[in-house]
Amino acid sequence: MKSVRQNAGLVLLLASVAFTNGCNPTKPIPAAEKPSLKTDSANSPVANVAVAADKVPLATALPPVVVLGTPVPINVPNLEPRLNAWPEFMVPAGTVNLAKGKKVTASDSDPVVGTLDLITDGDKAGDEGSWVELGKGKQWVQIDLEKDANLYAVVVWHFHSQDRVYRDVVVQVSDDPTFAKDVTTIYDNSASGKDRPYIETNLGKLMDAKGVKGRYVRLYSNGNTTNKMNHYIEVEVFGKPADVKDSTDKKIALKTELPQVQIQ
Q: What ranges make up the beta strands (E) of the chain? A: 47-50, 55-57, 90-92, 96-97, 104-106, 132-134, 138-157, 170-174, 183-188, 205-222, 230-232, 234-241, 251-254
* pLDDT for the residue 6: 47
Q: Render pLDDT for 119-167 as a digit per residue (tens, 0 to 9).
A: 999 999 998 889 999 999 999 999 999 999 999 999 999 999 999 999 9
Identify any residues that bridge with 187 across adjacent strands, giving them in sequence order: 171
Share above pLDDT 70 across residues of the chain, in percent, rounded to a whole number: 72
Share above pLDDT 90 across residues of the chain, in percent, rounded to a whole number: 67
Is the pLDDT at 250 greater than 80? The verdict is no
Calpha distance 141→107 (Å, rounded): 7
Calpha distance 226→229 (Å, rounded): 9
Domains in the chain, CATH or no CATH each = 55-245 (2.60.120.260)
The residue that leads in pLDDT, 76 or 3, is 76
